[in-house]
Structure 1
Amino acid sequence: MAPFRPALDLLDTIPGINQAVAEVIIAETGGDMARFTTAKHLASWAGVCPGHQESAGRTKNTKVRPGNPYLKGALGLAAFGAVRTNNTYLQARYKRLTARRGPLRALVAVEHSIITAIWHMLTDNVPYHELGGTYFAQRDPERATRRAITALNQLGYTVTLNPIEGAA
């Protein structure tokens, strides 16, 4: 694995990916992302993109595509580790999706996010850029405010919003 040391070091910056998982990813993909024209091609080959079954204009929820079983297993381990790492984008994504889709589908979505990040990192030779656990709240603060108010209303509280002096 000595020739792939720079790629292994890049992959080690992703939450949830340790040395063993990084080695499996490099071994299965070859370390060269030139064979995959886009991140979507890599996700499809790995088998972590959603299946698409459509009949008579209706789209059905289906299983993920068949893909490389070794890479899919390594991504599953990485996703399990990533969702248990506090205050990360991947954990925030998992929590948001778990509420709507369930834990297994949310885990596959995190695997898809990880493999997309891997493609971009190895193609552009850049380390992982962590967006943080508050990314979604910062992206749309009004939605986060509405969500918090709704949660408090469901618990039986009345909410009055007063802006903090000097905050903005």
Structure 2
Amino acid sequence: MASWVGVSPGNNESAGKKNSSKTTKGNKALKTMAVECVLGTSGQNNRINAHRKRITKRQGKKKGTIASAHLILTIAFNILKTGEPYQELGANYMKKEQKNKELKMIEYLKRKGYNISPSDQKTA
């Protein structure tokens, strides 16, 4: 669906070098609608706005907006596919996921026989 609308991420890589690429041509009306929805979430405390801000820090305003439009279309597709209502995960969803990854890694290392103590972990 994202490819049809024209907001799918490009993959322009050759000989180990990743080159910048433009978005694909797609349905202009749906692409405009998805971007307007992203811009409509600015100022709110939700997952889509947090996603846009996170991408914008690294890649710029326009790429952040298009990436969030892709997120909205992915969410819409999953709603249509499963028929379940949308559950807002919140702005700190990715922070929770990162924390869960760290905890899983610590548990994995303990199962492998490594001894992890609080003094071994970095303090911020």
- Aligned pair partner of 1:94 in 45, 52, 57: 52
Aligned to 2:32: 73
1:51 aligns with 2:37: no
SS at match of 1:54: strand
Contact 1:87 1:134 in 2 (8 A): no
SS at match of 1:114: helix
| TM-score, scaled relative to structure 1 | 0.56
Output the aligned Cα RMSD.
2.1
* CA distance in structure 2 between the aligned counterparts of 1:100 and 1:123, rounded to whole angstroms: 32
Report the residue type matching 1:76 in the other structure: V
SS at match of 1:59: strand
Contact 2:6 2:24 in 1 (8 A): yes
- How far 1:94 sits from its partner (Å)? 1.1
**Structure 1 residue runs without a partner (length 5+):** 1-41, 143-159, 162-168
- How far 1:55 sits from its partner (Å)? 3.4
Q: Deviations over 1:43-92 (max 9, x none)?
A: 1111001222233442211111111111101111111112x142101111
SS at match of 2:3: helix
Aligned to 2:61: 103
1:1-168 equivalences in 2 (<5 Å): 42-82=1-41, 84-141=42-99
| Cα pair distance change 1:129/1:85, threshold 3 Å | farther
Aligned to 2:110: none
SS at match of 2:10: coil
| TM-score, scaled relative to structure 2 | 0.74
**Structure 2 residue runs without a partner (length 5+):** 101-122
* CA distance in structure 2 between the aligned counterparts of 1:65 and 1:58, rounded to whole angstroms: 20
Contact 1:78 1:111 in 2 (8 A): yes
| RCO higher in structure (CA 8 A, sep ≥6) | 1
* CA distance in structure 2 between the aligned counterparts of 1:135 and 1:113, rounded to whole angstroms: 14
